[in-house]
Amino acid sequence: MLMKHPGRCKFPHGHSRRVEVVVAAEKLDENDMVCDFKALKLAVADFVDRFDHSLAVNSKDMRAQGFMGTANLAERIILVPDQDPTTEVMAQLIYEELAGKIGQTFVSKDGNTYRLPAGLVVERVRVTETSSSWAEYGM
């Protein structure tokens, strides 16, 4: 719900989004990669999954309090601090989440470990809203 939007986007609605990440490094690692894609996926999987079947709302939206007071709904409400949850804001949030995890190690369900290399640079995150519209956030 976009409380600042003059049209129908101010009402609950949904999108099937796709997230693309562009990363860079000065040199390839010992596996001849900039970064293992599995490490990228593990780094943001839980964060991105929070948005699945959820309602993202500006924390200043007075309607959010009504949703938060309903026990069955509260676990699927995401309050975005002081901003509407636009595609642009979602790209920024994912970018910041991923950039904050550079240098960390992640363990997959099968027990393998994957690392985001210390020198990795997150150049941009693209969030696709429809087949013809997207937003990018990054350097």
What confidence tier does 80 reach under pLDDT thresholds 50, 70, 90? very high
CATH (domain of 22): 3.30.479.10
Domain for residue 69, yes or no? no
- The domain tally of the chain equals 1
Range of the domain at 22: 15-51+82-138
Q: Is residue 103 part of a domain?
A: yes
Is this structure's pTM higher than 0.75?
Answer: yes
Indicate the pLDDT class of residue 71, thresholds 50, 70 and 90: low
Strands (E), 16-120: 18-24, 55-58, 77-80, 105-107, 113-115
Q: Is residue 83 exposed (0-12), middle (13-18) or buried (19+ Cβ within 10 Å)?
A: middle
Distance, in Å, from the CA atom of 93 to the CA atom of 28, rounded to the nearest integer, reads 27
Pairing verdict, β 77-80 and 55-58: parallel
CA 22 to chain centre: 14
Task: Name the most confidently modeled range: 3-17, 58-72, 86-100.
Answer: 86-100
Q: Which residue has the tokens 């562009």?
A: 22
